[in-house]
Amino acid sequence: MALSSAALATGAFCPHGDFEIAGAASGPLKGLTFATKDIFDIAGRVTGCGNPDWLASHGPASATAPAAQKLLDAGASMIGKTITDELAFSLNGQNFHYGTPRNALTPERIPGGSSCGSVSAVAHGTVDLALGSDTGGSVRIPACLNGMFGIRSTHGAVDISGVMPLAPSFDTVGWFARDAHTLYRAGEVLLPADRSGIALSRFYVIRDAFALAEPSVANAVRQALSRAAGTLSIAAELDLASELGGLGEWLKRFRRLQPREIWAIHGAWIESTKPKFGPEIAERFALAKSVAEAPEGDDQEFRTKVSAHLDRVLGPDGVLLIPTAGTIAPRLDASKEELADFRDRTLSLTSIAGLGGLPQVQIPAGLVGGAAVGLSLIGPRGSDRALLRLTEQVARALA
């Protein structure tokens, strides 16, 4: 069936191609619908990646990305492809060529990106689930800004083949749902079994993460923690990054590591094709090129230290509690300075799981001035299913 006028009005769906595929006749997700971010291959269709020049310069995919195929095999039906920021390289969700998918909660504000269409489709009730990718926050942040549930899986836990790479050592598959149980049901299909012996029972409030958020956001998330105190019994409040230079230093390293990989992946295509990018994305790729041309330094060694530090803090059963985003969603007409503040605060938070390759679940935590804020749970690597089960418990406590 064709997308309804209400679905089209969300601005969430790609204008090119027919992407309706019926799911298997039976399976654990039978009766559910999903959409797929337009960086996931679907056999016989061209993957557009949010840019008309990419769409024009690539042929149809030979196979469907395993993550999408698993949902189909489990009985879920795909109803469309969703708009992404160009080559998935933004947290805003504003596509210069195809428009801005609507934030379902605050239409005057950005939806967050780069999985902007996927979250909009879920938040408006058009689909039950949607696939996205998360490299620097591209599932966690739009989930937060739309008041949705979302997961960035442990790096490497979900097969990411057939998905356009951005920065491979950070790239992960994630997904959105309106409720914690549906998020978990998808995880049962997409995720491998957790490492044995995982029982998440130590919960740490990360003080330096809360300090990075705007006070109104931090206060709202702390209030959510108070409401969930019966489920999340706090072991301690920690300054997570102080012994490794602070979260500002972590962000600085992330901003050198990720662009270097991005240019290694996409630089040759950009130089040869000379695609037309929107102004913001053009600036980002120019910056990625300049970072890649600079001496590499010790950033990889620093990342190894951060990852080992996170493993020590978490152990087999720890969970870090942080605000998902540092501010509420900026307005659609926000200034460059406001958007820069949003990115700086938010990437400082998302870089924690990114540098560590850890799973993170975003949970709606309330409203500030009518806009959504989120609580994030970061667990040990390979604890994704346990983290999703814990998310169901927290969601019940916050309901």
* Catalytic site positions: 37, 114, 138
Task: Give the ranges where 176-298 is alpha helix by DSSP (H).
Answer: 180-190, 207-212, 215-227, 247-273, 279-293
Report the alpha-carbon distance of residue 98 to residue 95 in Å, rounded. Answer: 6
Distances (CA, A) of 33 to 4, 103, 111, 127: 14, 20, 21, 5
Cα-Cα-Cα-Cα torsion 342, 284, 64, 18, nearest 10 degrees, comes to: 80
User: Of the candidates 254, 332, 363, 345, which has an alpha carbon nearest to the alpha carbon of residue 300?
Assistant: 254
Cis peptide before 114 (omega within 30 of 0): yes
Report the alpha-carbon distance of residue 158 to residue 383 in Å, rounded. Answer: 13
Contact at 8 Å (CB) between 103 and 329?
Answer: yes
Contact at 8 Å (CB) between 135 and 350?
Answer: no
Contact at 8 Å (CB) between 343 and 141?
Answer: no
Q: Which residue has the tokens 């690539």?
A: 58
Report the alpha-carbon distance of residue 261 to residue 136 in Å, rounded. Answer: 13
Contact at 8 Å (CB) between 38 and 82?
Answer: yes
Q: Given the DSSP bridges, would you call strands 33-37 and 129-134 parallel, antiparallel or unpaired? A: parallel
